Amino acid sequence: MILLFIYTYAKRENMAIVNQINIEAVEGKEKDLKQVLNSLVALSLEQKACQKYELYQLEDKRKTFFIIEIWKNEKKKTAYYESKQYLEISENISKLSLKLSSNSLKLPQCLTKLGLK
């Protein structure tokens, strides 16, 4: 346990950023929002720093979407969030959504992905 803590502390600047973003569509705009969110997924996955970007739509609440995103580190995620392309898509999402929330985690680099178990 202590070793894990030391590893995490020493590598803090290289911590992966994991977000779950919850989005509720404006009534009747679910299809439009889904289209915009799919373009966001495509753009995000083009970024070298993006390790994972997945879009989900709830079966029982079709107005509710969520995204799971994993970025290599906070600095690269922030640079992407400030890009012109991201800001344009984000503006469109705002017009089509009622509510947006995010839950964030900062995790050390996944060792299993490196082949270390």
pLDDT computed for residue 106 by the predictor: 66
Domain boundaries, the chain: 2-107
Specify which residues 23 forms β-bridges with.
Answer: 65, 100
pLDDT computed for residue 104 by the predictor: 82
Q: Provide the CATH number for the domain formed by 2-107 in this structure.
A: 3.30.70.100
CB-CB neighbours of 102 under 10 Å: 12
pLDDT computed for residue 35 by the predictor: 97
Q: Judge contact between 93 and 23, C-beta under 8 A.
A: yes
CA–CA separation, 40 vs 43, rounded Å? Answer: 5
**Please, what is the Cα angle at 29 between 24 and 30, to 5 degrees?**
60
3-7, 65-69, 105-109 — which is least confidently predicted? Answer: 3-7
Backbone angles phi, psi at 49, to 5 degrees: -75, -10
pLDDT computed for residue 112 by the predictor: 57
Nearest to 72 by CA among 44, 48, 55: 48
Q: Supply the mean pLDDT for the chain.
A: 83
Q: Is the pLDDT of residue 31 over 70?
A: yes
Percent of the chain with pLDDT over 70: 78
For the entire predicted model, the pTM comes to 0.78
Q: What is the dihedral of CA 117, 54, 79, 103, to 10 degrees?
A: -80
Please identify which residue in the block is written with the tokens 């995204």.
67
| Structure token digits, residue 34 | 């889904």
Q: What is the pLDDT of residues 54-103, one digit of tens each?
A: 999 999 999 999 999 999 888 999 999 999 999 999 999 999 999 988 88
